[in-house]
Structure 1
């Protein structure tokens, strides 16, 4: 098992990024590595970090402005070779169809609910690390 997993968190809202960090803690589950966060507040920063490589999972805020996480997700799925899995933060449960359209692997609603979020993130990390192994 690798010593750390890298999670990119995109939101224009610093409070949302903090909610993600707090819900994750040091690791979202006992059987996944500790998490290191890369925080991005803009789409250009997200693209720059993904071009660098090394990101295991992306957490994208569907409510971010001006570039919402759903559109960002669809864009990176089209543009980034071997794009990491995406956990989308949605404003409403009714937006689940948009999460499907964006090709996100998982979605949870805002505000971040720690147990549900950690479970979804841990599942994506397990899947990603199993593929890399």
Structure 2
């Protein structure tokens, strides 16, 4: 079985990280690290701060997973997740970061595959994201 956009199980998994706040993007990248697990391909991060940049990268077909900040401005990650799930022709796992755990219902409405809330816990974030990334590797 092959996964769209993946040519080799050794090729880095491309993780798009979207937030208008550079600190959030850095925290997500630090939580995951470049080599999150010994049985996984390395990660390559694609930093995006605007909705047009997210849409351009996602349209390229080279992204394996997207992490979207629900509190990004002017375009929040929850609405963007819904748009991507409605408009993309291929399946792509999306993780939404919410301001508080009570907002998880809204992120689930957007059809996000996983929801993390602030403050970001690196262990929880990895537990949410690694299974989704494993699903993107060639088997």
User: Which residue is 1:63 aligned to?
Assistant: 71
Report deviation, 1:53: 1.3
Aligned residues: 131
Q: Among residues 28, 49, 62, which one is paired with 1:54 in the alignment? A: 62
Deviation, structure 1 residue 27: 2.4
Q: Which residue of 1 aligns with 2:41?
A: 33
Match of 1:104 in 2: 112
CA distance in 2, matches of 1:65, 1:120: 24
CA RMSD in angstroms comes to: 1.2
Q: Does 1:89 find its partner at 2:97?
A: yes
Gaps of 5+ in 2: 1-8
List structure 1 runs of 4+ shifted beyond 4 angstroms. none
Structure-1-length-normalised TM-score: 0.93
More helix by share: 1
Tell me whether 1:113 sits opposite 2:91 in the alignment: no
Structure 2 counterpart SS, 1:20: helix
Q: 1:55 to 1:36 in 2, by over 3 A?
A: same
* TM-score, normalised with respect to structure 2: 0.89
